[in-house]
Structure 1
Amino acid sequence: MKFAFLKPLLEIAVVLLLVLGALRWVTSLFSKRTHVYQVTAARQMRLLFWPLLALGAGLSVVPAVAMGGPEASTFEWVLTAGFVLFTLALSGPALLLHVRYWTLNEGTVLVFQPAENRLEVYEAEQRVAFERRDLVKVERVTCRARRTFWVKYDYLRLHLQDGRVVVLTSLLADLEPVAVFLRNLPSDNQQKTWCWV
């Protein structure tokens, strides 16, 4: 077979994934809950898993048709192009949102401890100076399209008295506890089909 080496590679990848998952679970039992949130590879993979899987499934058809035989029919190429476009339509918006959120919050660190009434934002290792009384409005935007790959992408905009706007995206952390923490402030809750900032 042409691709006989793929089976052992897939088996190794599955075993490695299971071992790493088990190690992460064991270490989470003994670790202290963090109150510092930033863009991490684990958080990115949690958001990108299904879009990347769909994109991989769509793109995997192209080599199969190209290597399938001496001549692939026009009908096969049309079906392949349709499948690739379908998977791009499913995963493309989530990938675009991910890149946009990453450019916004790549250098952002959120320190959030509701028990101690502490909410701090650092951008490029510099603290964004504001107190809770400096917040004029909290804008929360969530996704209305519930059965899409980009449903977990949402954001908060903190409008300050001096005109600055601090944007916190779901790439940093789950924003629901932060929104609950700021519930007594004037807020604007919106639902959009696609949460582009």
Structure 2
Amino acid sequence: MKTSFFRPLIEAAVVIFLVLGAARWVTGLFSKRTHVYQTTAARQLRLLFWPLLALGAGLSVLPAVAMGGAEVSAFEWLLTAGFMLFTLALSGPALLLHLRYWILNRETTLAFQPVDNRFEVYEAGQRVPFEWRDLARVERVTCSARRTFWAKYDYLTLHLRDGRAIILTALLTDLEPLATFLRSLPTERRTKAWCWV
């Protein structure tokens, strides 16, 4: 009975996934590559896929044990709690970083085209007023823990001569091309195990 109910749902999900993927591929052939970066759902999903999958695996055990009734032993509850804590330890830091980066850059737009020497930052639709000569230094922070779910969460801080700082996070785009573009400025490169801003 359960398989007869879930099978059509799974087949429909696969068909929708394939149709959307094909449509995106076809439209990508005819669209011009954008050089404007924002916190898009696709970028967020790319960063959050493994942490959410691990969290879902950890939380999926709890209902199964809870529905076991009186036959569930204390040892099984202990194993369940241990597995949930393990998956939270794997995915929790990435989820916290994602939330922090989203709070920082949810209204940020980066217009970056190195060929045209274009580099502009917008906050809530308004251009942040600075010129190239206003940039004092760049701080590039990357994650040293490369085999973790939060390894791709890094950020770049632009320090302006008037004391302001502009923080651009991995939620906008891959920041390495931007750091390469800004290489003529004094750059401080640091690595942290967890890139909290």
Q: How far apart in 1 are the matches of 2:18 and 2:74?
A: 42
Q: Which residue of 2 aligns with 1:161?
A: 161
Q: How far does the alpha carbon of each residue in 1:37-82 deviate from its partner, in whole angstroms, 9 at most, with x for none?
A: 1111111001000100110011001111112354311111111111
TM-score when scaled to structure 2?
0.95
Aligned residue number for residue 48 of structure 2: 48
Instruction: Confirm or deny that 1:83 pairs with 2:106.
Output: no
CA change 1:4–1:64 in 2 (3 A) is farther
Give the equivalent residue in structure 2 for 1:135.
135
Give the count of matched residue pairs.
197
**SS in structure 1 of the partner of residue 37 of structure 2:** strand
Q: Where do 1:107-186 residues align within 5 Å?
A: 107-186=107-186
Letter in 2 for 1:155: Y
Q: What aligned pairs does 1:19-98 form with structure 2 within 5 A after superposition? A: 19-98=19-98
Q: Deviations over 1:115-151 (max 9, x none)?
A: 1111000001111011111110000001110100011
Partner of 2:13: 13
The share of aligned pairs that are identical, in percent, is 75
For structure 1, which segment, 63-72 or 80-89, has the greater mean C-alpha deviation from structure 2 after superposition? 63-72
List alignment gaps of at least 5 residues for structure 1: none
Mean CA deviation greater in 68-77 or 98-107: 68-77
Specify the code of the residue in structure 1 equivalent to 2:171: L
- The one-letter code sitting in structure 1 at the alignment partner of 2:115 is A
Q: CA RMSD, aligned part only? A: 1.4
* Separation (CA, whole Å) in 1 of partners of 2:9 and 2:78: 31
Aligned residue number for residue 99 of structure 1: 99
Q: Which amino acid aligns with 1:162?
A: D
- Distance in 2 of aligned mates of 1:15 and 1:65: 33
